[in-house]
């Protein structure tokens, strides 16, 4: 079952299973050892056990002396450490994702439960409804409850890449945003609110499978 | 400043509501209001004079678009920010209200609403949206307590389901759950016992909880059993969902083969292996390595092929000739082998058919959306980033692909805006027609080649020691299957499609036509010509061996294709052509290869019952080979890949040409072809189906207790009327569903129009608010300026002696 820091009580585990979309395996450790994970060697062949899951991964981000069970549930991990997770490193929305799920007042650190929320929303079994709700919050860069032109242009810049030469030209950007608003802004107020966003998402059956992070 | 709306009273009926016929009155009152305001605004302008020339625009009362509105005041902004449509995505209170509404709806569907609580919950919508600028925390508490009360009314499973779906933090959900749980406990305790019902309720709750935890445990166990979880995660992380869909399809095929193999193994192969037939007269040939390729030689007289199976009842109870008793070790369970063979293959096919149709309809249901063709820009921007991708290099590739795709979409859109020249369209259609003609000609050429070669093979029979020559026909078929798609790809560069997705569909179509036509020719060759040519020998064994050879050679050619198509191409492009681009992984071509292999298995199950086992081994090896080659040599395809659409297309292709063709072949072989008289379980019969008829006749003679079975056989299976009835019913259901979808589309159009009109209303009201607050501000500043001037005057006047 692993080291001392990875044992969650049964009631807590049952509660997490009931309130999130994660399974028991995804919350606690499966079978492998942390050493192999740390040296990032791939596990062997067909009989490979499941990759280590949320609690173990979270504990790996904490300093050694704080890895006991009680502390791991209460301590908060800074954004930089979460952003260093391999699953998030290459994601252009990583800062927004961490900000949206953070419950600290300054929105700059994540507790274990925030981390579980993140994994639950990005898991396989989460409903498209909840995924689209959080996708909207992630894309809403200025947190005003709607996607206006600045939000959309920032979104497109995130998608096309970080370099200067990878961005779309100004006229292309304007045309693209006009087209997007034309297609999705049903009440013609110049912004896309949550219902309109969810309506657009419902037209794409691929959204649920692409809005997934596998730990 | 209060504005009074003067609606002139209708003299006749005071209690009648203003009807549409009285529209003029209503509009006139607005007109009066507008006139009043514009006069007032002109007054203001004259008063302000030339001080602010830019404000002349603000005097206009026509509804301005949101872009034209100058910076709204902070008060307007605050109201805008607390609009329900904007808070729903942001504030916790709004989420709680929304889910309170949903819980109420859910509860109302489940049970009748309690009469006691009707007062508070009667008009929740009014309580939830208020226009105060500062929503007090008290309001949120009220909404929260309402939600908790509603949650108590649900069962435990429903409550957990509802809580899981709420987009709130884990701590919040825990609080809600605790509160609804404790209050339920108090509620129950306070109510008092009412006979059976509390016990039933508790029992039901406990049962639900136990089942729930069992289900969770099962799911976790199943998750552990899933093979290749880590490998698939790596592939998804490096190449995205599109390439992953190929490997998921491979897993699906493994499941189908297992479904086919298990009954056959249990009821046919296992039993025959336990009761082997008497040894054949000729000598058993020695094992040479060639058997693995040709399937003949040592393997001919084995469980692998049809000819090995006996045509009698195994384990027959002994019939002592002189009426004495049988020995104590006499067996008691007879096993009718021909019937078992026929029924097992039939039932396995039926189960496969049902599973295929079910998974196809489920996949179609998930991937088809009404109106999904429009809105491609928004969908691309919101839905295409694949969060599974974790490698830096793959992420950069994804950025490039999305950028290219967006540019292509914009270019297409520009093209569609501009007028299309008739000349251009004609040229496009001509090029398309030409390429299709060339492809079909190639297909025809391949077919004729296969037919001619097969006739040649019949005319020159192969002796027992030249078994290697039997590999010639399968090798030719595999070579054509490999080479023709490359030719199609070259020809496809001549044509130009409007949408890149259409290119993929067209390529898949052409490939599929080639493979199915070649298989059709081979089927004719086997059932039409070989049966006649091998009259005294075991033609079923021959057909089984042909299919075995085709399967094995297909696997070898897949390996060769992977080697040359991917590895060597990458080496050449890196060394000679100095390009850093790796070859793309051809998803469509590879999936069609899998479908072709599965068709061969389905065609061959009747003649070689262990063929699904060989197919399983082949699929396992193909998985590892393709994965290794993918990691080393390939990159993700550049073209946009609608993964769920393509999965639906693939499983439909698996069902329609592939499975349907195999089923037709099987039905023809069972119903129309005379089995060979020297081998197999149907030796003495006219057709294979007669085994079933013989058994039914025996049942009829057996007695009245099983008379329903022959009745069912006569009136439902042999009669054609039920088939017509069922088809007519299916057609009616399909037609009704199409009409429903059409109606839904119309409703969606109407609703969009309505929302657009509401949006215009909203803009009008926002502008009104904006102007009202502006005027307030201005009058306040004016008063402020006027007041010191007054006090100055006062002081001056008071200062004057």
Is B122's pLDDT higher than 70?
A: no
- Given A102, A126, A150, the domain boundary residue is A126
**Number of domains into which chain A is organized:** 2
d(CA B290, CA B142): 82
Average pLDDT (B315-337) is: 64
Name the token pair of B252: 């699906």
The angle subtended at Cα A196 by Cα A195 and Cα A202, nearest 5°, is 90
Task: Choose between B354 and B530: higher pLDDT.
Answer: B354
| B44 close to B778: Cβ distance less than 8 angstroms | yes
Phi first, then psi, for residue B420 (nearest 5°) are: -90, 130
Is the pTM higher than 0.90? The answer reads no
Strands A109-110 and A77-78: antiparallel
Question: Could you list the residue range(s) of the whole structural domain that residue A183 is in?
Answer: 128-212
| Whether A116 and B170 lie within 8 Å, measured CB to CB | yes
Task: Choose between B554 and B414: higher pLDDT.
Answer: B554
Examine the domain organization and report whether B171 and B226 are in the same domain: no
Name the token pair of B677: 């008289």
Residues ≥6 apart with Cβ < 8 Å to B645 = A205, B367
d(CA B502, CA B440): 18
Asked, for residue B60, whether it belongs to a domain, the answer is no
The two most distant CA atoms of chain A are separated, in Å, by: 58
Examine the domain organization and report whether A182 and A107 are in the same domain: no
Asked, for residue A23, whether it belongs to a domain, the answer is no
Chain CA centroid to CA A144, Å: 20
pLDDT at B319: 60
pLDDT at B57: 39
Average pLDDT (B237-246) is: 83
Examine the domain organization and report whether A81 and A108 are in the same domain: yes
> Nearest Cα to B636, choosing from B47, B237, B368?
B237
pLDDT tens, B460-515? 877 666 777 788 889 999 999 988 988 988 888 888 776 667 777 888 889 999 99
Asked, for residue A203, whether it belongs to a domain, the answer is yes
**In chain B, what residues touch A197 (CB-CB under 8 Å)?**
89, 382
Examine the domain organization and report whether A173 and A202 are in the same domain: yes
Examine the domain organization and report whether A73 and A122 are in the same domain: yes
Question: Could you list the residue range(s) of the whole structural domain that residue B175 is in?
Answer: 92-180
Asked, for residue B43, whether it belongs to a domain, the answer is no
Of B391, B402, B642, which has the smallest distance from its Cβ to A159's Cβ?
A: B402
pLDDT at B242: 80
d(CA A209, CA A200): 16
- Given A110, A126, A142, the domain boundary residue is A126
Asked, for residue A176, whether it belongs to a domain, the answer is yes
Is B182's pLDDT higher than 90?
A: no
| B391 close to B412: Cβ distance less than 8 angstroms | no
How many other C-beta atoms are found inside a 10 Å radius of the C-beta of residue B747? Answer: 11
Examine the domain organization and report whether B143 and B242 are in the same domain: no
- Given B126, B152, B180, the domain boundary residue is B180
- Given A111, A126, A141, the domain boundary residue is A126
What's the gap in Å between the CA of A22 and the closest CA on chain B? 10
Q: How many CA atoms lie within 13 A of B7 on its CB side?
A: 10
Examine the domain organization and report whether B142 and B242 are in the same domain: no
How many residues in total does chain A contain?
215
Asked, for residue A64, whether it belongs to a domain, the answer is yes
Examine the domain organization and report whether B533 and B670 are in the same domain: yes
Looking at A72-86, A178-192, B201-215, which range is the least confident one? Answer: B201-215
Is B672's pLDDT higher than 70?
A: yes
pLDDT at A209: 83
Asked, for residue A117, whether it belongs to a domain, the answer is yes
pLDDT at A51: 29
**DSSP code of residue B427:** H
Name the token pair of B586: 């051809």
What residues does A78 pair with on adjacent strands?
A109
Task: Give the CA distances from residue B510 to residues B31, B230, B481, B620, in Å, rounded to whole numbers and listed in that order.
Answer: 66, 35, 12, 27
Examine the domain organization and report whether B589 and B648 are in the same domain: yes
Examine the domain organization and report whether B174 and B233 are in the same domain: no
> Nearest Cα to B568, choosing from B576, A123, B84, B779?
B576
Is A176 within 8 Å of chain B by CB?
Answer: yes
Mean pLDDT of chain B: 77
- Given B151, B180, B209, the domain boundary residue is B180
**In chain A, what residues touch B642 (CB-CB under 8 Å)?**
206
Q: What is the ipTM of this complex?
A: 0.85
**Number of domains into which chain B is organized:** 2
Examine the domain organization and report whether A88 and A146 are in the same domain: no
Examine the domain organization and report whether A58 and A98 are in the same domain: yes
> Nearest Cα to B689, choosing from B600, B612, B606?
B606
Is A12's pLDDT higher than 90?
A: no
Asked, for residue A37, whether it belongs to a domain, the answer is no
Residues 76-115 of chain A whose Cβ lies under 8 A from any Cβ of chain B: 86-87, 89-93, 103, 113-114
Examine the domain organization and report whether B114 and B247 are in the same domain: no
| Alpha-carbon torsion (B96, B98, B104, B107), positive or negative | negative
Examine the domain organization and report whether A203 and A139 are in the same domain: yes
Examine the domain organization and report whether A205 and A135 are in the same domain: yes
pLDDT at A36: 35
Is B88 within 8 Å of chain A by CB?
Answer: yes
| Whether B170 and A156 lie within 8 Å, measured CB to CB | no
Asked, for residue B302, whether it belongs to a domain, the answer is yes
Asked, for residue A186, whether it belongs to a domain, the answer is yes
- Name the band, by pLDDT with cuts 50, 70 and 90, for residue B521: very high
SS3 A184: helix
| Whether A214 and B177 lie within 8 Å, measured CB to CB | no
Is B222 within 8 Å of chain A by CB?
Answer: no
Residues 127-146 of chain A whose Cβ lies under 8 A from any Cβ of chain B: 127, 129-130, 133-137, 139-140, 143-146
Asked, for residue B687, whether it belongs to a domain, the answer is yes
Examine the domain organization and report whether A57 and A107 are in the same domain: yes
d(CA B403, CA A156): 9
What CATH number is associated with residue A137?
Answer: 1.10.238.10
Asked, for residue A141, whether it belongs to a domain, the answer is yes
Residues ≥6 apart with Cβ < 8 Å to B260 = B348, B352, B601, B602, B605, B612
> Nearest Cα to A189, choosing from B99, B498, B68, B430?
B68
State what percent of residues in chain B have pLDDT above 70. 75
Examine the domain organization and report whether B232 and B339 are in the same domain: yes
d(CA B801, CA B796): 10
Strands B313-314 and A109-110: unpaired
Examine the domain organization and report whether A199 and A158 are in the same domain: yes
Average pLDDT (A100-124) is: 87
Burial B405-431 (b: 16+ CB within 10 A, else e): bbeebbeeeeeeeeeeeeeeeeeeeee
pLDDT at A3: 42
- Given B694, B714, B749, the domain boundary residue is B694
Is B207's pLDDT higher than 90?
A: no
């Amino acid at each position: 079952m692993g080291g001392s820091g990875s044992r969650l009580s049964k009631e807590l585990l049952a509660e997490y299973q009931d309130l999130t979309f994660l399974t028991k395996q995804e919350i606690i450790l499966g079978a492998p050892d942390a050493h192999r994970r740390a040296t990032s060697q791939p596990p062997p062949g067909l009989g490979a056990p499941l990759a280590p899951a949320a609690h173990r991964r979270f504990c790996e981000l904490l300093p050694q002396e704080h890895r006991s069970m009680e502390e791991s549930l209460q301590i908060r991990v800074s954004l930089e450490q979460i952003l260093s997770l391999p699953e998030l490193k290459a994601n252009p929305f990583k800062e927004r994702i961490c900000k949206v799920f953070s419950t600290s007042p300054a929105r700059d650190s994540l507790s274990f439960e925030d981390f579980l929320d993140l994994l639950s929303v990005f898991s396989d079994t989460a409903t498209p409804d909840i995924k689209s709700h959080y996708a909207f919050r992630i894309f809403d860069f200025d947190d005003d409850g709607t996607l206006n032109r600045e939000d959309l242009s920032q979104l497109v810049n995130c998608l096309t890449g970080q370099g200067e030469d990878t961005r779309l030209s100004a006229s292309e950007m304007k045309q693209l945003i006009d087209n997007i608003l034309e297609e999705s802004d049903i009440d013609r107020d110049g912004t896309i609110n949550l219902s309109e966003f969810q309506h657009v998402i419902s037209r794409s059956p691929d959204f649920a499978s692409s809005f997934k992070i596998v730990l | 400043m209060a504005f009074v709306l003067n609606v002139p009273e209708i003299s006749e009926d005071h209690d009648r509501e203003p009807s549409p016929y009285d529209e003029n009155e209503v509009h006139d009152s607005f007109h009066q209001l507008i006139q009043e305001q514009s006069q007032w605004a002109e007054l203001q302008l004259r008063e302000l004079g030339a001080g602010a020339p830019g404000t002349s625009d603000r005097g206009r009362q026509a509804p301005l678009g949101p872009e034209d509105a100058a910076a709204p005041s902070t008060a307007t902004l605050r109201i805008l920010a607390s609009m329900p449509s904007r808070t729903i995505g942001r504030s916790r209170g709004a989420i709680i209200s929304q889910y309170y509404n949903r819980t109420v709806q859910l509860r109302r569907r489940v049970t009748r609403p309690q009469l006691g609580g009707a007062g508070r919950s009667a008009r929740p919508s009014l309580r939830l949206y208020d226009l105060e600028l500062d929503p007090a925390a008290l309001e949120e508490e009220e909404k929260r307590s309402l939600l908790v009360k509603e949650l108590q009314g649900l069962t435990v499973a429903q409550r957990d389901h509802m809580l899981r779906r709420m987009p709130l933090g884990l701590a919040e959900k825990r609080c809600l759950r605790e509160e609804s749980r404790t209050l339920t406990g108090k509620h129950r305790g306070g109510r008092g016992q009412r006979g059976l019902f509390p016990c039933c309720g508790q029992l039901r709750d406990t049962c639900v909880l136990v089942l729930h935890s069992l289900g969770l445990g099962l799911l976790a166990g199943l998750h552990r059993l899933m093979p290749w979880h880590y490998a698939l995660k790596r592939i998804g992380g490096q190449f995205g969902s599109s390439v992953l869909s190929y490997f998921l399809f491979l897993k699906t095929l493994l499941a189908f083969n297992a479904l086919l193999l298990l009954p056959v193994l249990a009821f046919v192969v296992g039993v025959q292996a336990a009761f082997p037939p008497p040894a054949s007269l000729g000598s058993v040939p020695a094992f040479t390595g060639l058997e693995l390729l040709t399937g003949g030689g040592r393997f001919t007289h084995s469980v692998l092929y049809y000819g090995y199976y006996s045509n009698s009842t195994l384990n027959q109870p002994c019939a002592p000739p002189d009426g004495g008793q049988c020995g104590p070790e006499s067996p008691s369970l007879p096993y009718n082998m021909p019937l078992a063979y026929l029924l097992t293959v039939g039932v396995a096919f039926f189960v496969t058919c049902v599973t295929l149709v079910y998974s196809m309809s489920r996949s179609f249901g998930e991937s088809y959306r009404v109106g999904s063709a429009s809105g491609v820009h928004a969908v691309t921007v919101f839905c295409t980033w694949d969060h599974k991708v974790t490698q830096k290099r793959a992420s950069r590739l994804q950025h490039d692909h999305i950028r290219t795709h967006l540019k292509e979409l914009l270019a297409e859109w520009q093209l569609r805006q501009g007028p299309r020249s008739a000349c251009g369209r004609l040229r496009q259609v001509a090029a398309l027609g030409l390429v299709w003609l060339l492809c079909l000609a190639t297909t025809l050429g391949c077919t004729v080649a296969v037919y001619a070669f097969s006739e040649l093979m019949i005319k020159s029979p192969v002796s027992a020691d030249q078994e290697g020559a039997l590999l010639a026909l399968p090798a030719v078929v595999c070579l054509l299957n490999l080479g023709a798609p490359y030719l199609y790809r070259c020809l496809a560069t001549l044509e130009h499609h409007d949408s890149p997705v259409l290119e993929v569909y067209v390529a898949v179509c052409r490939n599929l036509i080639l493979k199915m036509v070649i298989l059709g020719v081979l089927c004719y060759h086997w059932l039409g010509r070989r049966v006649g040519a091998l009259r005294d020998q075991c033609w079923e064994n021959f057909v089984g061996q042909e299919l075995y050879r085709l399967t094995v050679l297909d696997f070898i050619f897949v390996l060769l294709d992977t080697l040359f198509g991917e590895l060597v191409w990458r080496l050449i492009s890196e060394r000679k052509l100095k390009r850093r681009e790796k070859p793309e992984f051809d998803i469509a071509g590879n999936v069609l290869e899998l479908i072709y292999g599965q068709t061969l298995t389905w065609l061959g199950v009747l003649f070689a019952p262990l063929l699904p086992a060989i197919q399983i081994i082949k699929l396992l090896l193909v998985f590892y080979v393709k994965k290794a080659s993918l990691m080393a040599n390939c990159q993700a395809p550049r073209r946009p890949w609608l993964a769920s659409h393509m999965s639906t297309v693939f499983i439909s292709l698996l069902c329609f040409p592939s499975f349907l063709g195999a089923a037709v072949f099987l039905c023809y072989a069972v119903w129309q072809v005379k089995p060979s008289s020297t081998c197999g379980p149907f030796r003495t019969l006219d057709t294979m189906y007669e085994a079933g008829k013989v058994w039914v006749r025996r049942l009829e003679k057996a007695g009245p207790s099983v008379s329903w079975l022959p009745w069912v056989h006569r009136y439902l299976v042999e009669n054609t009327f039920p088939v017509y009835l069922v088809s007519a019913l299916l057609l009616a259901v399909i037609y009704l569903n199409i009409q429903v979808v059409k109606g839904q589309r119309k409703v969606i159009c109407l609703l969009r129009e309505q929302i657009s009109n509401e949006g215009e209303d909203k803009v009008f009201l926002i502008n009104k608010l904006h102007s009202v607050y502006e005027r307030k501000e201005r009058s306040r500043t004016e008063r402020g300026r006027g007041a010191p001037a007054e006090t100055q005057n006062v002081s001056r006047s008071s200062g004057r002696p």
